[in-house]
Structure 1
Amino acid sequence: MTKRAYNFNAGPAALPLEVLQQGQEEFINFADSGMSIMEMSHRSAIYEEVHNEAQSLLRELLGIPDSYKVLLLQGGASTQFAMVPMNLLPAGKVGAYVMTGSWAEKAIKEAQLFGETAVAASSETDKFNRIPDLSTIQIPANAAYLHVTSNETIEGTQYKAFPETGDLTLIGDMSSDIMSRPVNVSQFGMIYAGAQKNLGPSGVTIVIAREDLVAASPKSVPTMLRYDTHVKNNSLYNTPPSFSVYLAGLMLKWVKGKGGVAAIEQINRDKTKLIYDRIDQSGGFYRGFADPSSRSDMNITFRIHTEELEKRFVQESEHHGFVGLKGHRSVGGLRASTYNAVPVESCRALAEFMSDFQKRNG
């Protein structure tokens, strides 16, 4: 292959070429075993080493304290929307949620099936184009936890700082920006994330949880949906998504090789600036959806003044090798997802295409 697509898909998303190539090289015969990693037992010493190394790299790169457990689960963040209240929302307590858009709303709807919930803050009146001011968050006195969605992939907004909750457990859905910037894990009781945007392919879900929160789950919760089941069995209670875990491990090694999470953050800021500058300097031809104070470094959402031009933009971009620039069906418009593995060259090419498109259609 001499040319790869400019991949701006929102997820599953781009993976580094080096990671894909290593996976290809090891696909048939992993670690001189005569088998693919997809063929071997998850109880084997070879797989267990891969599994444990992925957990260890997560700890190292994110600075996860020893008092936290790292779980490698299945079901995506959507399953965590239910597991969180099933395990952590007892009767008489309230699950508090900050409503920031489509994914926060899904989390709230699942929690409502299991207990009482409250919206602690919301930006719905602004069509979710910003993260609510942290000073507006009102947490009920009997709250069990406060849940935030760190980055809304559909609206293109992102927390720049997280609420300080003191002794109250803070839970973060970081599916679309985990490993894209340093985070103080100790500020959270739990962080969860699907891997398919910044950490690897779809299939594995990362859960980072303070040990006291997940040491004992309610006995009424089904076995597979109990956190303590997976804690006690090192996420090997049932057959794990072994190939996804393996590729996530390669992705983590790639991040480490780039200089770690802080270095990745600077790269992400540099490459998204290329596109945001093109929007801001277009004289209104392109209009960013997210308020500048809440702009995501992962998902750049923008509009052109007519839907006809937006359709033409998508069609022409696809002809030039760009993939995934059509906005989510629920909000329309345009979106460029610039996750960790999207190279700066792709962002530069998109900025140049946007300039050319404006010259021809402005």
Structure 2
Amino acid sequence: MTDMPTLKPERPFFSSGPTAKFPGWSASNLKTEALGRSHRSAVGKARLKYAIDLSRELLGVPDDYLVGIMPGSDTGALECAMWTMLGARPATVAAWESFGNVWIQDAVKQLKLPDLQVLDADYGEIPDLTQIPQGNDVVFTWNGTTSGAKIANTDWLEQGREGLAVNDATSAVFAQEMDWAKLDATTYSWQKVMGSEAQHGMLVLSPKAVKRIESYDPAWPLPKLFRLKKGDKLNRAIFEGATINTPSLLATEDYILALEWAKSIGGRKAMFERADANAKIVTDWIEATPWMRNMVADPAQRTNTGVCMVFQGDWYESLSAEDQVGVPKKIAAMLDEHDVGYDFNGYRDAPPSLRIWCGGTVEQEDLKRLLPWIEWAYESLRNQ
């Protein structure tokens, strides 16, 4: 029987969204000058523009791309891109986890795209992306938040391709380098890799995406929250801090604080290194643990953020399907009760699993302290 560990993580926050605040975060460090002010005021608009500019700088977004703040988190930003740009030419939606499957349902049931290719794969796998015609618009999730599977590269997207590439990057940015030259609409949310408060999404548009928006009017009505045009032109004020609807300036300040921290430690490269080191701790442990395996078989497709793992072995496989589902839930509940690890059970639609967030705001030592507790909880269940 494995003894109960004595050391606990100092910050037991391992949720995959919202994710852990950066080390040293304190609400007392949030700037408050804009609070209680209109987002249209000079100070409010300036803070929103500062958040946009810092995002551009840290992510290395090209100068001729536009960056804007959108309502509704990553979902709002991604669906805005789909609703405003799809339908002009054949489209492909590729999915390998739950959120990508939502975009498939949007394309099939809501937009009812007439010339649609659907590519999907089971959790932990990636479909054959070379099947996508280069003339198709394509919607895909760079990093599968609920499966731990990411694209290994962008070789399947040709430079200068005719179709648009719409990229849901919400659990990839600030952890993996974006190939901006091949991306036309990229979206993410503040609460994922940067650990900021959930509220808003970001939309990054290439010149080709802007051209599509200005030259194309979709057949379906657009809700106000998705209307990017003013007359026949893109409303560029949206990408200068004049948001479509009222944003939370408190959430904005929290996002700015996280961006400033990332900049202070060396920018996105430092964030990449932190995520890589964190993920290595967890993936090495999985490889050394006989009753556990990575949900993603191909090492090249394994994420460095939300690492997903499933159980295996004689004891686990002898359980009923219902009891197998209960194993990760019970382990997560046991560690929550001991204030060791919060919210790291696998996603509700995924196979029974654990999912440990390894993004750059997590500390290596906290991960090292968490893993022996998982071993203890597992052995406790086996010996009941």
TM-score, normalization by structure 2: 0.81
The residue type equivalent to 1:292 in the other structure is D
The answer to whether 1:248 aligns with 2:258 is: no
Structure 2: runs of 5+ lacking an equivalent: 1-7, 317-323
The answer to whether 1:116 aligns with 2:114 is: yes
1:320 maps to 338
Q: 2:293 aligns with which of 287, 294, 301?
A: 287
Tell me the CA shift for residue 17 of structure 1: 4.1
**1:16-165 map, 5 Å:** 16-19=22-25, 21=26, 23-26=27-30, 30-31=32-33, 37-91=34-88, 93-112=89-108, 113-114=110-111, 115-116=113-114, 118-119=116-117, 121-123=119-121, 127-135=122-130, 137-139=131-133, 141=135, 143=136, 145-162=137-154, 163-165=156-158
Tell me the CA shift for residue 212 of structure 1: 4.4
Tell me the CA shift for residue 117 of structure 1: 5.1
1:15 maps to 21
Tell me the CA shift for residue 312 of structure 1: 3.8
Secondary structure class of the residue paired with 1:13 = coil
Q: 1:86 to 1:325 in 2, by over 3 A?
A: closer
Q: 1:188 to 1:68 in 2, by over 3 A?
A: same
Deviations 1:219-247 (A, max 9, x none): 85344312235533434243223222221
Tell me the CA shift for residue 357 of structure 1: 4.5
Contact 1:268 1:338 in 2 (8 A): yes
Partners of 1:170 and 1:348 in 2: CA distance:
38
Secondary structure class of the residue paired with 1:315 = helix
**1:145-224 map, 5 Å:** 145-162=137-154, 163-165=156-158, 166-167=160-161, 168-199=163-194, 200-214=196-210, 216=214, 218=217, 221-224=222-225
Q: 2:356 aligns with which of 336, 342, 356?
A: 336
Higher deviation after alignment, 244-253 or 220-229: 220-229
Partners of 1:72 and 1:79 in 2: CA distance:
10
Contact 1:68 1:210 in 2 (8 A): yes
Identical counterparts, % of pairs: 19
Partners of 1:326 and 1:261 in 2: CA distance:
28
Q: 1:358 to 1:110 in 2, by over 3 A?
A: closer
Secondary structure class of the residue paired with 1:161 = coil
The residue type equivalent to 2:28 in the other structure is Q
Secondary structure class of the residue paired with 2:126 = coil
Contact 1:268 1:339 in 2 (8 A): yes
Secondary structure class of the residue paired with 1:302 = strand
Q: 1:38 to 1:116 in 2, by over 3 A?
A: farther
TM-score, normalization by structure 1: 0.86
Partners of 2:357 and 2:114 in 1: CA distance:
34
2:5 maps to none
The residue type equivalent to 2:116 in the other structure is A
Contact 1:272 1:347 in 2 (8 A): no
Partners of 2:37 and 2:10 in 1: CA distance:
31
Partners of 1:95 and 1:241 in 2: CA distance:
34
Partners of 1:333 and 1:181 in 2: CA distance:
24
Contact 1:62 1:261 in 2 (8 A): yes
2:311 maps to 304
The residue type equivalent to 1:96 in the other structure is T
Deviations 1:166-191 (A, max 9, x none): 32321100111211122222220110
Partners of 1:178 and 1:239 in 2: CA distance:
25
Tell me the CA shift for residue 128 of structure 1: 2.7
Q: 1:97 to 1:26 in 2, by over 3 A?
A: closer
Partners of 2:114 and 2:76 in 1: CA distance:
19
Secondary structure class of the residue paired with 1:97 = strand
Higher-RCO chain (CA-CA 8 Å, sequence separation at least 6): 2
Equivalent pairs, count? 344
2:3 maps to none
Tell me the CA shift for residue 192 of structure 1: 0.5
Secondary structure class of the residue paired with 1:132 = coil
